[in-house]
Amino acid sequence: MLERLFQLREHGTSVRSEILAGITTFLTMSYIIFVNPEILSSTGMDKSAVFVATCLAAALGTLIMAFMANWPIGLAPGMGLNAFFAFTVVGAMGYSWQQALGAVFISGVIFVALTLTGIRSWLIDGIPHSLRSAIAAGIGLFLAIIALGGSGIVVANPATKVALGDLTAAPALFAILGFFIIAALDALKVRGAILIGILVVTVLSMLTGNSQFYGVFSVPPSLAPTFFQLDIMGALHTGFVHVILVLVLVEVFDATGTMIGVATRANLIQEGKPNRLGRALLADSSAIVAGSFLGTSSTTAYIESAAGVQAGGRTGLTALTIAVLFLLSLFLAPLAGSVPAYATAPALLYVAGLMLREITQIDWSDITEATPAALAAMIMPFTYSIANGLAFGFISYVVLKAITGKFRHIHPATLLVAALFVIKYAFFPE
């Protein structure tokens, strides 16, 4: 049956290799089941329900990938987009989390339409490589300031805006320890380094009396507090135009780039030969819609899937294994509830550092490429908004190209996105 479903011989793999690859990928990305509830619960969402939604969205999205595309890629709520959801849309802009879920749903529907019509490929081809790299780096910086602030390493200061916090306080000490554990284990190629770091800090925190232990296993908690709680009509408010635009753009770049990168490494995309990229793109876009119903931010493909590919994963059986493990994780709700915020902060900070590697892909010798890219990356953390960073990047790119006589170098897709941001700030400044 597995051979018929996943064509294992054709891909030169075995059941054992695929299952081991699935376990490997799960270990590298399972930190999201602790991090996502911590971030989204800051909006007032029920933390236990978000935990269930995270596991179910990851399992459902990965199952769709397994059976629709037969690719060894894991999906789960994306880092960066969950922070945008919680700290920008709800925290800074003041919308309800129900409206934010409505925006996720609308972006997912648009994402499906873009995929089916081929516009998604047009967008990908049209956005400058420098801006794509800057967006990833900027989201990394955004995650970094969230992590540093949440752990008390960086604090507000009326004179200097930000300042160093009390490094002798327990949250800061635990966060620093967790960061070094994760970085060291990852450098030593230990699988599940981020997850191990989170769990070690959590256990030490309990042993020193800084956090409570609620147990490890239990019957999964209720999904009711977030299930079908999205407010689609509320998300049709004019202020949501650029929120939806940002969600779509980040989903397009993040998921597409990740899938092409992982699939290329697995030799699933060969020039001149048919591939299942179209099906994979449809799988991840439809998973976003499903996640909004469950009660979580946008679901996306995980770059950590490359670890499973490295371990031999080549088919959807790897993805099926990942999905099954996410479903089994539903019984770990007490453990997830025991994880303090400063235990997940090191994970955010480490992922932020990995995302910053993208700045090396920017052509720093060309001012009209480098300046918009730098603006996009810097504005995200300094305004606490991915949306503002995107706007500054796209608008400045068009302006600089135009005034330096390179207007013909601007792709219509870039021009369209820049125009939409200009309209947003001109007519809907709130």
What is the C-alpha separation between 279 and 296, in angstroms, rounded? Answer: 23
User: Distance from first CA to last CA of the chain, Å, rounded?
Assistant: 55
pLDDT of 273 reads 63
pLDDT of residue 238: 66
384 neighbors 371 (Cβ within 8 angstroms): no
**In Å, how far are 42, 134, 174, 257, 396 from 414, measured between CA atoms?**
34, 14, 43, 17, 11
- What is the mean pLDDT for each group of 10 consecutive residues in the chain (430 residues)? 80 87 88 94 95 96 92 91 92 92 94 86 83 87 90 93 94 96 93 89 93 89 95 83 85 77 76 72 89 94 85 89 95 90 89 88 93 94 87 94 93 91 76
Please report the pLDDT score of residue 177 as a whole number. Answer: 96
Question: What DSSP string describes 15-65?
Answer: HHHHHHHHHHHHHHHTTHHHHHHHHHGGGT--HHHHHHHHHHHHHHHHHHI
3-class SS at 180?
helix
Nearest residue to 276 (alpha-carbon basis) of 9, 11, 2: 11
User: Hey, how many other C-beta atoms are within 10 angstroms of the C-beta on 265?
Assistant: 13
Element (H, E) at 76: strand 75-77
pLDDT digits (tens, 9 = 90+) for 265-293: 777 876 656 667 778 888 888 899 999 99
DSSP β-bridge partners for residue 51: none
| Rounded Cα gap, residues 189 and 60, in angstroms | 29
Cα(355)–Cα(139) distance, rounded to whole angstroms?
8
